[in-house]
């Protein structure tokens, strides 16, 4: 996976963002007062490629208009949609504000493949994609509200890239960190990414322990959330494991 765009993070934070679940990350964001960071309603197109990590490269659409949005505009290689695709860099995720409208696709298999070849880290749209059979096999994480055969400009007019957008009702700023897994996609404000990542890793480790205890038959009381005694057991176990490494 190309993660060049994430070089502002420490290797430890990058690793953590590659591992932590979106459930854990949204909890960490909530703990800092951010309640609306999960892009609800989007699912991954390729079941084997659910894990997404990259920096947001944003694309904004407004409603199409019949006098402007005609098929011939796609002959222009500098059409904003095509220009955006040719601008997504290594480690970046194309995040499309399709106003939550999925009746026409944000893009298709060829454009998505170009993003992959450019080293892009993925695609997220609150609209749809076309050529779904291709996306199901594409080795690029793509999150979408669904499939629609209708091409982009029947409904969308791509106006701008690298501006703040709304995607699935979540504010996404260029450079924010997008993380996806089987639950969907979360947007982490760039300035919070490092600390969220490190704390998320701690939460993951603790929850792994809690799950083991629950699987061992313990009730929730005293375990989840952990009582001081359970926490002590956890810290002791961690110390033991670290010593034996
Ligand atoms: O969305 C479009 O019209 C372009 C398309 O089909 C593709 O990229 O394969
Ligand atoms: Mg196509």
Cα 210 from chain centroid?
A: 27
Protein residue with its CA nearest to atom 7 in ligand 1: 108
Give per-residue pLDDT as tens, 187-217. 999 999 999 999 999 999 999 999 999 999 9
Q: Check pLDDT > 60 for residue 3.
A: no
> How does strand 105-107 pair with strand 128-129?
parallel
Phi-psi region of 10 (alpha: psi -120 to 50; beta: other; left: phi over 0): beta
Pocket-testing residue among 105, 140, 158, ligand 1, by greatest number of atoms within 8 A of Cβ? 105
- pTM of the predicted structure, to 2 decimals: 0.96
What's the pLDDT at 4? 82
Q: Check pLDDT > 50 for residue 218.
A: yes
Say what percent of the chain tops pLDDT 70.
99
Q: Do the annotations mark residue 9 as ligand-binding?
A: no
Predicted confidence band of residue 2 (pLDDT cuts 50, 70, 90): very low
Domain map of the chain by residue range?
Answer: 4-195, 201-243
Q: What is the mean pLDDT of the chain?
A: 96
Protein residue with its CA nearest to atom 4 in ligand 1: 108
- CB of 69 closer than 6 angstroms to any ligand 1 atom: no
Give per-residue pLDDT as tens, 98-107. 999 999 999 9
CATH superfamily membership of 4-195: Ribonuclease E inhibitor RraA/RraA-like (3.50.30.40)
Q: Check pLDDT > 70 for residue 168.
A: yes
- CB of 152 closer than 6 angstroms to any ligand 1 atom: yes
Q: Do the annotations mark residue 188 as ligand-binding?
A: no
Using the mean position of ligand 2's atoms as its centre, give its distance from the Cα of residue 182 in Å. 25
What's the pLDDT at 5? 93
Give per-residue pLDDT as tens, 17-39. 999 999 999 999 999 999 999 99
Protein residue with its CA nearest to atom 3 in ligand 1: 151
Q: Residue 65: CB partners within 8 Å, gap ≥ 6? A: 157
From the number of C-beta atoms within 10 Å of its C-beta (0-12, 13-18, 19+), residue 73 rates as: middle
Mean pLDDT of 123-139: 98
And the tokens for 161?
């890239």
Q: Check pLDDT > 50 for residue 49.
A: yes
């Amino acid at each position: 996976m190309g993660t060049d765009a994430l070089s502002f993070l420490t290797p430890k934070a990058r690793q953590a963002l590659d591992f932590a679940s979106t459930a854990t990350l949204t909890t960490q964001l909530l703990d800092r007062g951010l309640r609306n960071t999960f892009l609800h309603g989007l699912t991954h197109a390729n079941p084997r490629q659910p894990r997404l990590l990259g920096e947001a490269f944003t694309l904004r659409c407004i409603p199409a208009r019949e006098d402007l949005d005609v098929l011939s505009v796609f002959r222009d290689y500098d059409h904003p949609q095509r220009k955006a695709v040719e601008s997504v860099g290594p480690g970046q995720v194309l995040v499309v504000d399709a106003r939550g409208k999925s009746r026409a696709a944000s893009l298709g298999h060829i454009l998505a493949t170009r993003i992959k070849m450019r080293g892009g880290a993925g695609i997220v749209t609150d609209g749809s994609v076309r050529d779904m059979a291709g996306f199901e096999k594409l080795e690029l994480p793509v999150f979408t509200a669904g499939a629609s055969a209708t091409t982009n400009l029947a409904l969308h007019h791509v106006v701008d890239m690298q501006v703040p957008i709304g995607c699935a009702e979540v504010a996404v700023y260029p450079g924010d960190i997008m993380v996806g897994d089987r639950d969907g996609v979360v947007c982490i404000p760039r300035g919070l990414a490092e600390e969220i990542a490190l704390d998320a890793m701690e939460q993951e480790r603790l929850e792994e322990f809690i799950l083991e205890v629950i699987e061992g038959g313990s009730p929730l009381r005293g375990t989840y959330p952990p009582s001081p005694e359970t926490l002590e057991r956890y810290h002791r176990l961690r110390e033991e494991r670290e010593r034996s490494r």
